Structure 1
Amino acid sequence: MTVGVGLELDRVRLSYTGTPVIDELSLTVRPGEILVLTGPSGCGKSTVLRALAGLLPPDSGRILADDAEVTGTSGDRGMVFQDNALLPWRTVRSNIELALRLRGEPRATRRAQADHWIGELGLTGFGSYLPKSLSGGMRQRVQLARGLAGAPRAVMMDEPFGALDTQTRAAMQRLLIDTWRTHPTTIVFVTHDVDEALTLGDRIVVLGKAGRPVRAVLEVPDPRIDLPREELRTEIIAALDHSVAA
């Protein structure tokens, strides 16, 4: 069974295309939790994800995974993007198999593992389809399958459901939670949507501008249970308002 990895950013400074985005960010992600990052556009949420995945080295500070410094990408850390990042000329099965190959899985086992994830994510019967033949929700299922294939111990998810309609988005949120419960891993999830943050997160971190990167860290009581959370929602919205105004 996958065991989630603990992640830490220690006084991290990050730039994107030469422009400073994050400065002196310190944050701990607990093993096996779903940590949600939210904040105004341009505050660096996606940049933080890329750094945690090992795709972007910090200008200063350290990024740690189970106390080992992150110096590049690793099969222990996967990434699921908002945009359709599937290779259009590859079938559903082939897209998932490619991720397994890149993570070093032998050819003899790749097809069986891909078919396992096709079944897990409700894609049975679509393994030979090209992405263009799938709905937006089904393409996101394939991206999720690809992100989880190879049993990464942490998955960074960059607004993966942001382009979906409300009903499909809710279905994908339930699917993510069910899959996470069956295959425990650490998830860092970026969203602009306050209700999505409350639905998914064990903790919610509201990011602000680089001078004060963390505006609030909020624990979600009874996470993923459908309870009224008006007080917590109000706290998040207030933190977001301060982030924009600061």
Structure 2
Amino acid sequence: MTAGMSLTVSDLVLSYGGAPVVNRLDLTVRPGEIMVLTGPSGCGKSTVLRALAGLLRQDSGQILADGDPVTTTSRDRAMVFQDSALLPWRTVRSNVELALKLAGLPRAGRRAEALRWIADVGLTGFEDYLPKSLSGGMRQRVQLARGLAGNPRAVMMDEPFGALDAQTRTSMQRLLIETWRTHPTTIVFVTHDVDEALRLGDRVAVLGRAGQPLRALVDVPTPRSPDSERTALRAEILAALDNTELIS
């Protein structure tokens, strides 16, 4: 996989129905890091993510990807959603192959590359299954494989594990880190869960309520923090949010 890209947000304003959802946000995502966006419901986390992916145009301000303005979607910037966005009529392998086709990989090499990614996310033996035959965690594994298979330089992930049970969620968090270490890229990950933010992020950006600017930017020591350090960092994040609306 190619190296991750930098993403720069400057004085960004995003509105919905005439009201600012994101107001004058400044944020820089470093190449190859996992940046987690967290904050109370309605603070614009998912809105920022869609703007970074090129799915939403800003009212004002600037979004740059490796110094170039983001004006539309790009193969270099992939998106993984919370709800399964897999094509229900395509098998696991066919869903992953679609990303490879869009990335320009010749037909002759797609099958082998898709199978490699399916193996990387632990789904060998399920290549010919349709999404409806898979559990929620398995569908998210396919989404992860498809999101990364096209060699994007940045991946935007919108609460991809939010609907999973606790055990499956922990397993998916571990898989994401393992896959990211093997196939490094820039990841911007949205969650409302502070503990998930600290397990995954190199840095955690805390957004305020709708229309407010960035409240805090917390560095997470690597390797990923032990429980004692997470307790202190968790308190710092909650303090930045005045203990509002974040779910433990």
Give matches, 1:67-216, under 5 Å: 67-216=67-216
- In the other structure, the counterpart of 2:7 is 7
Moved more, 100-109 or 25-34: 100-109
Between the aligned partners of 2:157 and 2:188, the Cα distance in structure 1 is: 6
Q: 1:223 offset after TM fit, Å?
A: 4.2
2:222 aligned partner, one-letter code? D
1:16·1:47 contact (CA, 8 Å) conserved in 2?
no
1:148 aligned partner, one-letter code? L
- In the other structure, the counterpart of 1:31 is 31
* Closer, same or farther: CA 18–107 of 1 in aligned 2, 3 Å: farther
Q: Normalising to structure 1: TM-score of the pair?
A: 0.94
2:3 aligned partner, one-letter code? V
2:45·2:190 contact (CA, 8 Å) conserved in 1?
yes
Between the aligned partners of 2:210 and 2:244, the Cα distance in structure 1 is: 10
Alignment identity in percent?
73
* Closer, same or farther: CA 148–16 of 1 in aligned 2, 3 Å: farther
2:198·2:225 contact (CA, 8 Å) conserved in 1?
no
- In the other structure, the counterpart of 2:217 is 217
3-state secondary structure, aligned to 2:24: strand
Unmatched 5+ stretches in structure 2? none
1:200·1:223 contact (CA, 8 Å) conserved in 2?
no
1:36·1:201 contact (CA, 8 Å) conserved in 2?
yes
Between the aligned partners of 2:190 and 2:34, the Cα distance in structure 1 is: 10
2:36·2:191 contact (CA, 8 Å) conserved in 1?
yes
3-state secondary structure, aligned to 2:206: strand
Between the aligned partners of 1:75 and 1:194, the Cα distance in structure 2 is: 30
Q: How many residues align?
A: 244
- In the other structure, the counterpart of 1:241 is 242
3-state secondary structure, aligned to 2:241: helix
Kindly report structure 1 stretches of 4+ aligned residues shifted beyond 6 Å.
none
- In the other structure, the counterpart of 1:230 is 231
1:11·1:25 contact (CA, 8 Å) conserved in 2?
yes
Between the aligned partners of 2:231 and 2:144, the Cα distance in structure 1 is: 30
Cα deviation per residue 1:44-94 (whole Å; 9 max; x = unaligned)? 000000010111111111100111111111111111100111111111011
* Closer, same or farther: CA 242–24 of 1 in aligned 2, 3 Å: farther
Between the aligned partners of 2:119 and 2:192, the Cα distance in structure 1 is: 30
Between the aligned partners of 2:104 and 2:53, the Cα distance in structure 1 is: 17
Between the aligned partners of 2:225 and 2:210, the Cα distance in structure 1 is: 33
Q: Normalising to structure 2: TM-score of the pair?
A: 0.94
Q: 1:105 offset after TM fit, Å?
A: 2.5
1:202·1:219 contact (CA, 8 Å) conserved in 2?
yes
3-state secondary structure, aligned to 2:242: helix
2:9·2:62 contact (CA, 8 Å) conserved in 1?
yes
Over the aligned positions, Cα root-mean-square deviation in angstroms equals 1.5
Q: 1:19 offset after TM fit, Å?
A: 4.2
Cα deviation per residue 1:124-159 (whole Å; 9 max; x = unaligned)? 010100011111110000000010011111100000
Between the aligned partners of 1:14 and 1:223, the Cα distance in structure 2 is: 34
Moved more, 77-86 or 230-239: 230-239
